[in-house]
Amino acid sequence: MNKFYPWFRSDNLNGFIGLAIGLFAVLTLLYSVKFMAGHRRLIEYYACIVLTAVASLLVIFSNHLIILLASWGFLGLTLYLLINMGDDKASAAAKKALIIVGGTDALMLLGIGIIYYLTGTFQMDKIKISLSSNGFLLPLCAYLCIAVACFAKAGAMPFHSWIPDCAQSAPVPVVAYLPASLDKLLGIYLLARISLDLFVINNAIISIILMLSGAFTIIAAVMMALVQHNMKRLMGYHAVSQVGYMILGIGTANPIGIAGGIFHMLNNAVYKSCLFFSGGNVEYRANSSELDQLGGLARVMPLTYISCLIASLSISGVPPFNGFVSKWMVYQGIINNWQMAENRWQMIVPILCLIAAMFGSGLTLASFMKLIHAVFLGQPQAKQRANLKEVAWQMWVPCITLAIICVVFGVFANQLPLKYFILPAVAGVGFSGAWYAGFSTLLIIIGLALGLFIFKFSKEKLNLRQDRAFIGGEDMDLRIHPVTGTEFYNTVSEFGALKKIYSRAEAGFFDIYEQGKKLISAAGKVFQYLHNGILPTYLVWMLLGMLGIFFILLR
Amino acid sequence: MLKANIIPLFVIIPLLSAFLISLLGKYLKRQFIYVFSNISCFLLLYFSFYGLNMLRSCGSNIFVYKIGGWAPPFGICLVFDGLAGFMLVIVNLIAFIVNIYSLNYIEKYTDKPKFFTLVFLMLTGMNGLIVTGDLFNLYIFLEVASLSSYALVAFGTDSEDLEASFKYAIMGSLASIFVFLGIAILYGFTSTLNMADMAMIIAEKTGSRIIPFVSVLFIVGFGTKAALMPVHAWLPDAHPAAPASISAMLSGVLIKTLGIYALARILFNVIGISSAISSILVFLGALSLSVAVLLAFAQTDLKRLLAYSSISQVGYIILGIGLATPLGILGALFHLFNHSAIKSLLFLNAGAIDYAAGTRDLREMSGLKEKMPVTANTSLAASLSVAGIPPFAGFFSKLIIIFACIEKGYIGYAFIAVIGSILTLATFMKMQKLAFFGKLNEKYNYLKEVPLAMKLSMVVLAVICVCGGLLLLPRWNFFLSDAANVLLEGSHYAVKVFEAVK
């Protein structure tokens, strides 16, 4: 890699991300062989997938801000083209995605311009800007401009709103590939890069901004996920929610928190792609992604079910899977901040964030139980065809591979990913409460085995009774009124104060894109009013403009 | 001295073509006119490249042709330097491509000889304005180009076209009067009309209030031709009204030659740019780019949207030129080149849709990509380029302009430029979505892609949009940097002109 210096550089932080990008590209290509077969624009599709991988590698390894900016922007273009290959609504989603991602790229350009103005170089390893020096405002602007681009790419609030739309409309491999894995890797990588290397964050304000926006993202997105009825849209909101943990981790600005954030980025990419791939399997076979139209698929699609279950538990932070390890590290980072606080006021932010993170984790589990129940358990829908079966190997191999990685990264966290990938990247990580998965995993396995043993060999002795289902004293025919996973969660959205927020959120009230559109249209109306098409008006402007310039120059 | 002999050809070829076509057009077959017009456009393009190449190879970076052998300042001279070569290449390249496009496109109009006559007159005006070294000559060529463009806007002879042409003519003539007044005052001040001579005299007589006064006249006059806010109002009517190939010429090169090139040449090389003028230009540029893009976003007429976007992009160019730093001017000229390719292409796309589907209303189009893939893909390339998405050329020119703003310490203007860029992206994404993506409108099931000549010219322009960024590579950046150096030299231009005629 030294040959390409100073244009490109590889170090401990970007090395393993490059590996991960390669892995996801290969898995996506494998998955697409079956899933995308028969699509009209296959050549364009595969070209975009490969170009995306190449551009991502350029972003990751580049040591020159302009190369980084150009390849980063190019990813917006491939994202746009790839989303456009989805269903009827895809063009709206693609437009939204490119406006948000490409628009924030322009801000990043401004940030890079300011960095060049301050330091006189584009070479990333030579840049070290202190945020507390005199002239504090300009560096802060630069940092925030680039951070906004990272937020939009990774999908943190308030720049998240393209992800759920994209998740619902774009082809599944595209969602698993870009918003779920690569965009997260890149966004969080750049955020980590600027926070760790390019800028010296010895300033509490940035830390607080990052932590609060992370915490807010976790809670708000997971609340939205809770009430979704579409499998892909639900997962899309989780793709937003999980970013909160990464930003929270990096925002803590202490080594364990940052390491946790980066590890969570890797883990999230793994289980989120796994979830989208399994969701894609379901959609491929059942031709629907609406939770109400699915059910009981565990029996016919066992491999998909298992991988989806593992990934769901992992995203919810259930030990011993990988999501737990990284979340635990983020929590430790927050607790460290809490302990370091000098007075009571400084304690508020860490406490709030810790509560938000833990609560968000619980809600994640809740919403995934809804998904697992609605899709894989419960009663099969009457409408469903009898010929449902497991998908082809090209489609389940990626799921299973990623599920295995979830387990391995969780159980052997200290031996594998942390040792080789994460800890070398972040200096000075000290665990205040180490978690050794080995023993508890053993206990879990023993418990499961014991349960299975009892279930298998003492079946006859169990006193089983099957009866009709009834609710409120009345018989219920499960074939007509199946117990769906979604109904229970509807109560959440009808819950007093939340109801109003939900209805507004559905109307796009909190969507920076929708609000921006309204604002631009309003401003456009004002100027349109001035362009009334009458010649004398225009001549008056001309003369007024000339008088104005005369006044300025000749007064 | 022989080398300078190609310069008059830039005026002679189009003028002669215009003359011949108007004279013989009635008696000749249509195909013959097509072939003839394309050959003369090709010759112009060839000589532009040839001149540029000669400029590189012979070491001296300026040629001067003395008309009738009279030496300046008494005779009229024609000057070919880096900037003139740069502009000539752009103008003649776009004219050549648009001419190919017109072969099919103008089928629906009557009286083709007149169309080509007017096009060549406009080309005469633009080429002459670029190469002339005499201020009064510049005014003449300005009027030649303007008058033929007024007629071309009205070529469709719908009521809408006539109204637009009328407005354009009134505002354009007013602008010409300002320019003329400015030239007259300068003549009174310096007693010469030769630009090089004038520059030398002005450089000696400092401290006069006449110079700022004349600068304002030129800013307003040429600014109107360039559609700078607040004197832009003719453009959103005139550009959509013209036939698409003419819109492409108007937005692509006419506003840049008559407005930006003439303004920059006079402000930098003749009367010298002061910091007050420079900050006024920066302000007007920022105003144009931000307000016009808001208006563009609100449009539903495709060509009107493009016209407003042209005002906005001209704002970027003026912003860059107004900075008067090497980086700013380089960025501005690069953006000028990119924008002429992009906007011509977008107008040609609009013309292709109009040709095939017969509509300009974005709300009526939908899913045209299915039926018109070449138009859709070239339009996408142009849209992404104008919106500044890498690796398209527009990204790099905007990047340079924004960096130049920051370099000069104008963070606020840089921010406005960034916001303008985001809004441009939003505008063009909206356009793409409405026109090309989504479900095909059922009434367009019969649609066919446009004929070969139209496709060919769109594809060539799209290639320029995609590969334009290569101009920044060291091997090719002389094209831009030679042009930028001419402006940066300021009144040293005069010294070089006089050296060249010795």
* B2 exposure class (CB count in 10 Å sphere: 0-12, 13-18, 19+): exposed
Residue of A nearest to B274 (CA): A553
A1 CA to centre of own chain: 30
> Whole-number mean pLDDT of chain A?
84
* DSSP bridge pairs for A95: none
- Closest Cα of chain A to B336: distance in Å? 20
Q: Which residues of A touch B233 (CB under 8 A)?
A: 531, 537-538, 541-542
Nearest to B389 among A73, A516, A517 (CB): A73
Name residue B438's amino acid.
G
CA gyration radius, chain B: 21
- Closest Cα of chain A to B167: distance in Å? 6
Residues contacting residue B474 through CB under 8 Å, at least 6 positions apart = none
Run of H or E including A474: strand A474-476
Q: Which residues of B touch A521 (CB under 8 A)?
A: 297-298
Candidates A520, A526, A528, A540: best to mutate against B (most CBs of B within 10 A) is: A520
3-state SS class at A64 = strand
- Cis peptide, bond prior to residue A6, ω within 30 of zero: yes
pLDDT for the residue A386: 60
Residue of B nearest to A70 (CA): B390
pLDDT for the residue B94: 93
Average pLDDT of A454-468?
Answer: 71
The per-residue pLDDT for range A477-502, each reduced to its tens digit, is: 666 666 666 666 776 667 767 777 77
Write the DSSP symbol of residue A418.
I
- Closest Cα of chain A to B165: distance in Å? 12
Average pLDDT of B364-384?
Answer: 87
Q: Which residues of B touch A520 (CB under 8 A)?
A: 294, 297-298, 423, 426
**Contact (CB, 8 A) for B190 and B73:** no
pLDDT confidence band for B33 (50 / 70 / 90): confident
pLDDT for the residue B285: 92
End-to-end CA distance of chain A: 62
For A235-270, letters b (16+ CB in 10 Å) and e give: bbbbbbbbbbbbbbbbbbbbbbbbbbbbbbbbbbbb
Contact B216 A550 (CB under 8 A): yes
Q: Determine the Cα angle at A212 with ends A206 and A213, to 5°.
A: 90
- Closest Cα of chain A to B156: distance in Å? 19
Mean pLDDT is lowest, of A140-154, B34-48, B340-354, B360-374, for B360-374
Run of H or E including A174: helix A172-177
A318 CA to centre of own chain: 19
Residue of A nearest to B220 (CA): A546
Number of neighbours of residue A528 by Cβ within 10 angstroms: 14
pLDDT for the residue A480: 63
The per-residue pLDDT for range B247-268, each reduced to its tens digit, is: 999 988 999 989 899 999 999 9
pLDDT confidence band for A382 (50 / 70 / 90): low
Contact A98 B295 (CB under 8 A): no
Contact A110 B406 (CB under 8 A): yes
Average pLDDT of A314-332?
Answer: 86
Residues contacting residue B165 through CB under 8 Å, at least 6 positions apart = B150, B151, B153, B154, B238, B241
Average pLDDT of B399-407?
Answer: 91
Nearest to A102 among B405, B425, B437 (CB): B425
* B173 exposure class (CB count in 10 Å sphere: 0-12, 13-18, 19+): middle
Average pLDDT of B419-430?
Answer: 91
Residue of B nearest to A546 (CA): B220
Q: Which residues of B touch A552 (CB under 8 A)?
A: 276, 280
Half-sphere exposure of B367 (CA within 13 A, CB side): 15
In angstroms, the CA B402 to CA B415 distance is: 8
* B19 exposure class (CB count in 10 Å sphere: 0-12, 13-18, 19+): middle
Contact B418 A84 (CB under 8 A): no
In angstroms, the CA B281 to CA B284 distance is: 5
Average pLDDT of A416-441?
Answer: 74
Contact B174 A527 (CB under 8 A): no
Contact B439 A84 (CB under 8 A): no
- Closest Cα of chain B to A303: distance in Å? 36
What proportion of chain B, given as a percentage, has pLDDT over 70? 100
pLDDT for the residue B373: 87
Q: Which residues of B touch A106 (CB under 8 A)?
A: 388, 418, 421-422, 425
Residues contacting residue A188 through CB under 8 Å, at least 6 positions apart = A150, A154, A243, A246, A247, A250, A261, A262, A265
Q: Which residues of B touch A141 (CB under 8 A)?
A: 411
Count of CB pairs separated by less than 8 Å, A with B: 155
Residue-wise DSSP of A506-539: HTTTT-HHHHHHHHHHHHHHHHHHH----HHHHH
Residues contacting residue B186 through CB under 8 Å, at least 6 positions apart = B135, B198, B210, B214, B271
In angstroms, the CA B45 to CA B41 distance is: 6
pLDDT confidence band for A385 (50 / 70 / 90): low
Residue-wise DSSP of A193-211: HIIIIIEE---HHHHHHHH
In angstroms, the CA A333 to CA A211 distance is: 11
* DSSP bridge pairs for B79: B64
Write the DSSP symbol of residue B477.
T
Q: Which residues of A touch B389 (CB under 8 A)?
A: 73-74, 76-77, 98, 102, 105
Q: Is the pLDDT of residue A113 over 60?
A: yes
End-to-end CA distance of chain B: 10
- Closest Cα of chain A to B298: distance in Å? 6
Tokens 């921010």: give the residue.
B415
- Closest Cα of chain A to B389: distance in Å? 6
Q: Which residues of A touch B411 (CB under 8 A)?
A: 114, 138, 141
- Closest Cα of chain A to B295: distance in Å? 5
Tokens of B452: 């070969």
Nearest to A542 among B209, B224, B298 (CB): B224
The per-residue pLDDT for range B93-127, each reduced to its tens digit, is: 999 999 999 888 887 777 888 888 999 999 999 99
Run of H or E including A130: strand A129-130
Nearest to B418 among A107, A117, A554 (CB): A107
The per-residue pLDDT for range B281-328, each reduced to its tens digit, is: 999 999 999 999 998 988 888 999 999 999 999 999 999 999 989 999
- Closest Cα of chain A to B215: distance in Å? 10
Nearest to A553 among B212, B295, B439 (CB): B212
Nearest to B224 by CA among A542, A544, A540: A542
In angstroms, the CA B446 to CA B431 distance is: 22
Nearest to A531 among B212, B233, B276 (CB): B233
Nearest to A84 among B171, B405, B437 (CB): B437
In angstroms, the CA A468 to CA A477 distance is: 8
Q: Is the pLDDT of residue B90 over 80?
A: yes
Q: Choose between A491 and A98: higher pLDDT.
A: A98
In angstroms, the CA A234 to CA A346 distance is: 35
Q: Choose between A469 and B385: higher pLDDT.
A: B385
**Contact (CB, 8 A) for A215 and A248:** yes
Contact B402 A102 (CB under 8 A): no
Q: Which residues of B touch A99 (CB under 8 A)?
A: 422, 425-426, 429
pLDDT for the residue B463: 93
The per-residue pLDDT for range A270-281, each reduced to its tens digit, is: 999 999 999 888
Nearest to A98 among B402, B405, B429 (CB): B429
Candidates B229, B273, B377, B395: best to mutate against A (most CBs of A within 10 A) is: B395
Contact A109 B402 (CB under 8 A): yes
Nearest to B298 among A70, A114, A528 (CB): A528
Contact B298 A521 (CB under 8 A): yes
Contact B294 A550 (CB under 8 A): no
What angle in degrees, to the nearest 10, is found between the helix axes of B373-387 and B452-467? 30
Tokens 């002999």: give the residue.
B5
Candidates B429, B465, B473: best to mutate against A (most CBs of A within 10 A) is: B429
Note the helical H segments in A228-343: 231-251, 255-286, 302-315, 322-340
pLDDT confidence band for A133 (50 / 70 / 90): low
Nearest to A102 among B213, B294, B389 (CB): B389
Nearest to B280 among A74, A110, A552 (CB): A552
Average pLDDT of B386-399?
Answer: 89
CA gyration radius, chain A: 26
Q: Which residues of B touch A535 (CB under 8 A)?
A: 166-167, 170-171
The per-residue pLDDT for range B174-203, each reduced to its tens digit, is: 999 999 999 999 999 988 888 888 888 888
In angstroms, the CA B397 to CA A298 distance is: 55
Number of neighbours of residue A489 by Cβ within 10 angstroms: 20
Q: Is the pLDDT of residue A16 over 70?
A: yes
Dihedral of CA atoms B145, B149, B155, B156 in degrees, nearest 10, equals 160
Indicate if the alpha-carbon torsion angle A255, A68, A95, A280 is positive or negative: negative
Tokens 């985001």: give the residue.
B422
Phi and psi at residue B38, to the nearest 5° = -70, -35
Q: Residue ranges per domain, chain A?
A: 1-202, 204-456+479-509, 512-554
Residue-wise DSSP of B249-296: HIIIIIIIIIIIIHHHIIIIIIS---HHHHHHHHHHHHHHHHHHHHHH
Contact B422 A99 (CB under 8 A): yes
In angstroms, the CA B259 to CA B250 distance is: 11
Domain count, chain B: 1
**Contact (CB, 8 A) for A169 and A230:** no
Name residue B301's amino acid.
D
In angstroms, the CA A339 to CA A325 distance is: 21
pLDDT for the residue A531: 81
pLDDT confidence band for A2 (50 / 70 / 90): low
Q: Which residues of B touch A523 (CB under 8 A)?
A: 294
- The secondary structure of B399-436, three-state, reads HHHHHHHHHCCCHHHHHHHHHHHHHHHHHHHHHHHHHC
The per-residue pLDDT for range B43-76, each reduced to its tens digit, is: 999 999 988 888 888 777 788 888 888 877 788 8
pLDDT confidence band for A462 (50 / 70 / 90): low
Q: Is the pLDDT of residue B1 over 50?
A: no
Domain extent for B321? 2-501
Residue spans of beta strands (DSSP E) within B16-140: 62-66, 77-81
Nearest to B295 among A84, A113, A531 (CB): A531
* DSSP bridge pairs for A327: none
